[in-house]
Amino acid sequence: MTAILVRGAGFADDSRGDILVRDGVVAEIGSSLSDSGAQLIDADGLLALPGLVDLHTHLREPGFEQSETVLTGSRAAAIGGFTTVHAMANTSPVSDTAGVVEQVQRLGDAAGYVTVRPIGAVTVGLEGKQLSEIGAMAGSRARVRVFSDDGKCVSDALLMRRALEYVMTFGGVVAQHAQEPRLTEGAQMNEGTLSGQLGLAGWPAVAEESIIARDVLLAQHVGARLHVCHVSTAGSVEVVRWAKARGIQVTAEVTPHHLLLTEDLASGYDARYKVNPPLRRSEDVEALRAGLADGTIDIIATDHAPHPSEAKDCEWDAAAFGMVGLESALSVVQASVVDTGHLDWNDVARVFSRVPAEIGLVPGYEFGIAVGSPADFTLYDPATSRVFGVEHLRGKGVNSPYLSATLPGRVVATLHNGYATVLDGELVDAESVAQSARRTSGAQHG
């Protein structure tokens, strides 16, 4: 396999150097490295970040291939600088059996753009009634470690307790979509002054906060690990902070869009801004940024949720919840928390690579870009900016809230398992990537 020599990259700690990649791993880091046979990547002015790990991605396959497939979602991930994504379980059939999760993993491996880690459903059919075959999924070739009914909340308190305990048995974690269902029946946007004026049914902050409060206490009681998906309110940050202070094993994620956008965007009834949990007030955005900066919130996750255009090209009530986010994630993180001084690039590497891998029990991300570690990293140009448009999307969904917005930064190259998935700001073609992936897995198994 061809070696790759990255010349003159900047690192998150402000140092600079060359990175030599050979046999899928980082072989050397230093200055003036040379390898006559290596493919050269000029990284002058670029920032090398460890490959991003998304703990919350909707790849839609099987069942909703008109929205996204494992391949198209993987491509969207690679162009966003990701090397691992976790595929949410709300597929059709639901990822609640070993068969489905293995299929998703197989599709991911074949595509080869990123490592696809399937998430298993907590309950059969996401129906919140009966535990799914968690043991079978954990023991399958997909080795599922994260379980979630995302899109739906495990709202039954007893079932949630059992899920926390049972998942712990297999060393996994439950990722809870915290949404009290009765408080959010028909809910359309954040409940507040604006929802009252717009006549859109409110999604109150308390519907999220009350579930998080209940779940951290349950996690404490049974001694389990809990992960909270897409925290969106200032109150949720407070609850998680309180729980951590009590020593409860809770981790929390925030999406890039909740770090940047506010509910005001709903004013024109443009359904691109309809998302679950909804965009909140600017006070919430500030609290989320602060919570991410002080470690209350552990990670950033995209909640990339592609939909076909007809699901957004309609009246607000009828529109689907969700936004695509993989392609724009790093730029939005830069705009919302790096350029605002909340996080430095080391922090970004922590919250968007090392810790999400830790939570998902994905190996290889422990040391970031380090000699001997898998060569999964991305080269990012933070100095540029661009008017974000449909032409920058690589998944099937065009439901991005950032279209026509000016965003900083751009991913120039992404390496996964030592081969390039993105070069010169463009995806490497699918056939070459698939070939590289086959060679890599052949090498590993051989």
Partner 1 sequence: MRHLLSTRDLGHDEAVAILDVAEDMADVADREVRKLPTLRGKTVVNLFFEDSTRTRISFEAAAKRLSADVINFSAKGSSVSKGESLKDTAQTLAAIGADAVVIRHGASGAPAVLADSGWIDAAIVNAGDGTHEHPTQALLDAFTIRRRIHGSAARAKALDGVSVTIVGDILHSRVARSNVWLLSSLGAAVTLVAPATLLPIGVTEWPASVGYSLDAALAKRPDVVMMLRIQSERMHDAFFPNAHEYSREWGLGDERLRTLAADSIVMHPGPMNRGLEISSGAADSPRSTVLEQVANGVSVRMAVLYLVLSGMKEGQS
Contact call for residue 311 and partner 1 (CB under 8 A): yes
Q: DSSP for 220-252?
A: HHHT--EEE----SHHHHHHHHHHHHTT--EEE
Question: What is the CA 331 to chain-centroid distance, rounded?
Answer: 14
Q: Which residues in 203-222 contact partner 1 (CB under 8 A)?
A: 204
- Cβ-count burial of 28 within 10 angstroms (0-12 exposed, 13-18 middle, 19+ buried)? middle
**Cα gap 324→385, rounded to integer Å:** 19
Binder of partner 1 out of 113, 166, 273, 316 (CB under 8 A):
316
Q: Which amino acid is at 249?
A: Q
Which of 33, 198 has the CB closer to partner 1?
Answer: 198
What number of helices (H) and strands (E) belong to the chain? 13, 19
Q: Which residues in 187-206 contact partner 1 (CB under 8 A)?
A: 188, 191-202, 204
Size of the site for partner 1 (CB under 8 A): 26
Q: Which residues in 247-276 contact partner 1 (CB under 8 A)?
A: 268-271
Which of 74, 233 has the CB closer to partner 1?
Answer: 233
Contact call for residue 310 and partner 1 (CB under 8 A): yes
Q: Three-class SS of residue 393?
A: coil
* Tokens standing for residue 435: 């070939």
The single residue of 35, 303, 313, 381 carrying the catalytic annotation is 303
Rounded least distance, CB 393 to partner 1, Å: 21
Torsion on CA atoms 413, 117, 60, 336, rounded to nearest 10: -50
Q: Which amino acid is at 192?
A: G
Question: What is the CA 312 to chain-centroid distance, rounded?
Answer: 22
Q: Three-class SS of residue 99?
A: helix
Q: Are 1 and 418 a contacting pair, CB within 8 Å?
A: yes
Q: Are 262 and 280 a contacting pair, CB within 8 Å?
A: yes
* Nearest residue to 113 (alpha-carbon basis) of 143, 84, 144: 84
For residue 399, what is the DSSP state?
Answer: -
Rounded least distance, CB 192 to partner 1, Å: 5
Contact call for residue 371 and partner 1 (CB under 8 A): no
Binder of partner 1 out of 44, 315, 391, 431 (CB under 8 A):
315
Binder of partner 1 out of 294, 313, 339, 426 (CB under 8 A):
313
* Tokens standing for residue 420: 């390039």
Outline where DSSP puts E strands in 99-152: 115-118, 146-147
Contact call for residue 398 and partner 1 (CB under 8 A): no
Which of 11, 273 has the CB closer to partner 1?
Answer: 273
Rounded least distance, CB 154 to partner 1, Å: 25
Which of 206, 222 has the CB closer to partner 1?
Answer: 206
Which of 26, 271 has the CB closer to partner 1?
Answer: 271
Which of 202, 409 has the CB closer to partner 1?
Answer: 202
Contact call for residue 314 and partner 1 (CB under 8 A): yes
Contact call for residue 283 and partner 1 (CB under 8 A): no
Rounded least distance, CB 313 to partner 1, Å: 6
Q: Which residues in 125-154 contact partner 1 (CB under 8 A)?
A: none
Contact call for residue 401 and partner 1 (CB under 8 A): no
Contact call for residue 40 and partner 1 (CB under 8 A): no
Q: Which residues contact 215 (CB under 8 A, 6 or more apart)?
A: 160, 164, 176, 178, 226, 228, 250
Annotation says 303 is catalytic: yes
**Cα gap 130→428, rounded to integer Å:** 43
Rounded least distance, CB 67 to partner 1, Å: 13
Rounded least distance, CB 311 to partner 1, Å: 7
Q: Which residues bind partner 1 (CB under 8 A)?
A: 188, 191-202, 204, 268-271, 310-311, 313-318
Question: Which sequence positions are flagged as catalytic?
Answer: 303
